[in-house]
């Protein structure tokens, strides 16, 4: 350690964590990780799923999840060994010195207790504050975090406030004892993109104003550039690269870090103009005046008067946040749900409302690819059957023919042909998503509805899937309807874009037109929420966001 550095607040040395499976076999999931956290500094742990980033952050609190245990290394908090503390001392340490903000506040708050009681629980039971003092401090924190009604919000139960608010309330809970170190574990991942920056900004302000040191755990490099001073890149439980934020972003040394940078969710520098057919042709699929709703009498309106068309070989991006109706639109087109009014036309012919009434030949043309490949593929069916069934069902192939076709298809999606004998749980997430896509292809469709198919994937894997989609489109003249919340992705791959909000399409057109000003306020809000890799971006973005949100509150679709 260099002598000019200040004494670290937290020093992690050679931390190693192992997991034990049902048969008692041990696997190392965190391998020899070392880093320092200086007082008041923020370090980011970055990595994809399985990189061990959460396990490390829990290890800093002397905690290992059931089935895991810390097998080596040390964690020193200002000269005090965290891992050697007896349980009562560890409990005091967790309540006071190192505190934690979990990924999903909705699941991590106790549903049977009022929020205030949970926020002030530790200082009150340890006698550090009286109830009144603690409540006063909590209200101060609520206000500092920009929560509405700071005086009364804590009297509610967790299910009575929104996800973004809960996440901030959890930060208040972590900050109430004035901890020396705050651990934030993917605190904005579960939130909608436009809420995300507001929460991130609240956290950043809080950390800065209290001069609290923090460990920020995330998979998203572009987000972390806004808050962290140092970045530690992890992969498979090992350290890949460690350095100041500016260095990692400007000049990453490890190839893996570069790959992460390339796949990060940032807007492309330039939006390509869409490929336009030389001769205007009739669209492949048209949605005309569709209105749809849920509920017993379909009275909860999810879609209002939607018009959309998808041309041959085109990619149409449908973007919006949760509750915008984008998935419902996909379900209407595929016939999983019937509209209240309006119709869907294929090649100019109206399609029956429901799957059961549609001809097999029509069903074949439009295929659906689900978001989560791990639940979209039957875990008890071999890949060969999953892919072979649509071939037999739509194309009437026999056993031998479909076996050959399955092999060809697996090659096409860049998977080994031997995978036909495997079951989905034996595959990795990215491989499963390829199978998921291959199943849609097996029907030889003309249109594939892709419902958030890259959202659950790690960034690098997601990029590979997007590349595959592009190459398939080139070879097979496929059309895609690409449903997503991620405007940066859509900007790169779509020819046309439809922006949805609260069940309506607020703006649609060729991608370059929609995404270049002047555009709809909501499109601007989405664009404004895409992180940029410069460190001063967040403050500007939050400022802009507040202006746009105020403007949007006056638009017609907000008044339901």
From the CB of 160, what's the least distance to another protein, in Å? 6
User: Residue 217 in contact with residue 249, Cβ under 8 Å?
Assistant: no
Decide whether 160 or 273 has the Cβ nearer to another protein: 160
Q: With respect to another protein, which residue has the nearer C-beta, 274 or 293?
A: 293
> Minimum Å distance from CB 33 to another protein?
19
Q: What is the DSSP letter of 18?
A: E
The CB-side HSE value for 195 (13 A sphere, CA atoms) comes to 18
Q: How far is CA 398 from CA 26, 48, 240, 390, 417, in A?
A: 45, 41, 49, 12, 18
φ/ψ of residue 524, rounded to 5: -65, -40
* Between 33 and 58, CB nearer to another protein: 58
The Cα–Cα gap between 75 and 57 comes to 11
Closest CB 88 distance from another protein, rounded Å: 8
The first and second tokens of residue 258, run together, are 């570069």
Q: How far apart are CA 299 and CA 316, in angstroms?
A: 29
Q: Which is nearer to another protein, 343 or 362 (CB)?
A: 362
In the complex, minimum distance from the CB of residue 27 to another protein, in angstroms, rounded to a whole number: 17
Q: Is 281 exposed, middle or buried (0-12, 13-18, 19+ CB in 10 A)?
A: exposed
Beta bridge partners of 508: 498
Contact 253, 295 (CB under 8 A): no
Instruction: Pick between residue 192 and residue 362 the one whose CB is nearest to another protein.
Output: 362
**DSSP structure string for 393-450:** HHH---HHHHHHHHHHHHHHTT--GGGGGS-GGGS-HHHHHHHHHHHHHHT--SEEEE
- Strands in 315-319's sheet, in edge-to-edge order, are 366-369, 447-451, 479-484, 315-319, 496-501, 504-510
Answer whether 103's CB lies under 8 Å from 190's CB.
yes
Shortest Å distance, C-beta 332 to another protein? 12
- Minimum CB separation of residue 433 from another protein in Å reads 13
At 533, phi and psi to the nearest 5? Answer: -85, 40
Q: Where are the alpha helices (DSSP H) in 97-130?
A: 105-108, 115-119, 121-125
Is the CB of residue 101 less than 8 Å from the CB of residue 170? yes
Question: Which residues of the shown chain bind another protein in the complex (CB under 8 A)?
Answer: 22-23, 58, 61, 63, 65-66, 87-88, 90-96, 99-100, 102, 104, 107-113, 121-122, 125, 156-157, 159-160, 173, 334-336, 355-356, 358, 360, 363, 368, 370-372, 375-382, 389-390, 393-394, 421, 439, 443
- Nearer CB in complex with another protein: 24/554: 24
In the complex with another protein, which residue's Cβ is closer, 109 or 480? 109
365 exposure class (CB count in 10 Å sphere: 0-12, 13-18, 19+): buried
Indicate the residue among 105 and 240 with the shorter CB distance to another protein: 105
36 vs 213: CA distance, rounded Å: 11
Instruction: Find the shortest distance in angstroms from Cβ 338 to another protein.
Output: 13
Give the integer Cα–Cα distance in Å for 523 and 501.
10
Residue 217 vs 497, nearer CB to another protein: 217
Distance CA 388, CA 404 (A): 9
- Smallest distance, another protein to C-beta of residue 466, A: 21
CB of 451 to another protein, least distance (A): 10
| DSSP letters for 131-174 | HHHHHHHHHHHHHHTT-SSTTTGGGS-GGGS-HHHHHHHHHHHH
Q: How far is the CB of 169 from another protein (least distance, A)?
A: 12
Q: Give least dist CB 313 to another protein, A.
A: 23
- CA 224/CA 198 separation, integer angstroms: 14
Q: In whole angstroms, how close is the CB of 86 to another protein at the nearest point?
A: 13
In the complex with another protein, the residue whose CB is nearer, 177 or 507, is 177
Q: In terms of CB distance, is 107 or 276 closer to another protein?
A: 107
Give whichever of 183 and 227 is closer to another protein, judged by the CB atom.
183
CB of 299 to another protein, least distance (A): 15
Pick between residue 47 and residue 179 the one whose CB is nearest to another protein.
Answer: 179
């Amino acid at each position: 350690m260099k002598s000019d550095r200040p004494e670290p607040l937290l020093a992690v040395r050679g931390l190693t964590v192992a997991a034990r499976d049902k048969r008692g076999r041990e696997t190392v999931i965190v391998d020899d990780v070392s880093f320092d956290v200086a007082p008041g500094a923020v370090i980011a742990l970055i990595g994809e799923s399985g990189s061990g980033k959460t396990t490390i952050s829990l290890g800093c609190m002397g905690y290992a999840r059931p089935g895991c245990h810390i097998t080596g290394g040390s964690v020193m908090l200002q000269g005090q060994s965290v891992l050697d503390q007896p349980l009562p001392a560890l409990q005091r340490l967790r309540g006071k010195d190192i505190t934690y903000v979990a990924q999903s506040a909705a699941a991590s708050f106790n549903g049977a207790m009022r929020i205030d009681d949970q926020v002030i629980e530790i200082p009150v039971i340890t006698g550090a504050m009286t109830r009144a003092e603690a409540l006063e401090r909590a209200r101060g924190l609520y206000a500092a975090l920009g929560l509405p009604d700071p005086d009364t919000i804590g009297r509610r139960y967790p299910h009575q406030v929104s996800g973004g608010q809960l996440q901030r309330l959890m930060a208040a809970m972590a900050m109430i004892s004035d901890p020396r170190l705050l651990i934030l574990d993917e605190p904005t991942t579960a939130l909608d993109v436009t809420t995300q920056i507001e929460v991130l900004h609240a956290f950043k302000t809080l950390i800065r104003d209290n001069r609290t040191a923090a460990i920020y755990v995330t998979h998203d490099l572009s987000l972390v550039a806004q808050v962290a001073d140092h970045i530690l890149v992890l992969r498979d439980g090992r350290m890949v690269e460690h350095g100041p934020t500016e260095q990692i972003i400007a000049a990453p040394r490890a190839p893996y870090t570069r790959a992460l940078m390339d796949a990060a969710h940032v807007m492309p520098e330039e939006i390509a103009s869409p490929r336009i057919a030389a001769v205007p042709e009739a669209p492949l699929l048209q949605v005309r005046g569709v209105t749809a709703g849920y509920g017993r009498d379909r009275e909860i309106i999810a879609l209002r008067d939607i018009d959309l068309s998808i041309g041959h070989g085109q990619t149409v991006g449908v973007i919006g946040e949760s509750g915008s109706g984008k998935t419902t639109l996909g379900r209407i087109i595929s016939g999983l749900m019937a509209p209240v009014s309006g119709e869907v036309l294929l090649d100019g012919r109206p399609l029956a409302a429901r799957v059961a009434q549609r001809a097999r030949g029509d069903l074949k043309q439009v295929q659906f690819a689900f978001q989560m490949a791990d639940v979209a593929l039957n875990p008890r069916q071999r890949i060969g059957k999953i892919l072979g069934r649509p071939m037999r069902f739509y194309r009437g192939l026999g056993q031998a023919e479909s076996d050959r076709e399955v092999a060809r298809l697996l090659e096409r999606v860049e998977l080994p042909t031997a995978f036909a004998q495997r079951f989905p749980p034996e595959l990795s997430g990215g491989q499963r998503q390829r199978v998921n896509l291959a199943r849609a292809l097996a029907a030889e469709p003309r249109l594939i509805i892709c419902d958030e198919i890259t959202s659950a994937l790690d960034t690098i894997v997601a990029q590979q899937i997007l590349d595959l989609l592009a190459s398939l489109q080139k070879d097979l003249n496929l059309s895609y309807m690409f449903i997503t919340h991620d405007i940066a992705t859509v900007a790169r791959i779509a020819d046309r874009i439809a922006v949805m909000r609260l069940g309506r399409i607020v703006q649609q057109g060729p991608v370059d037109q929609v995404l270049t000003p002047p555009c709809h306020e909501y499109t601007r809000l989405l664009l404004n929420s895409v992180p940029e890799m410069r460190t001063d971006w967040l403050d500007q973005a939050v400022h802009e966001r507040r202006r746009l949100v105020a403007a949007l509150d006056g638009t017609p679709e907000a008044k339901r």
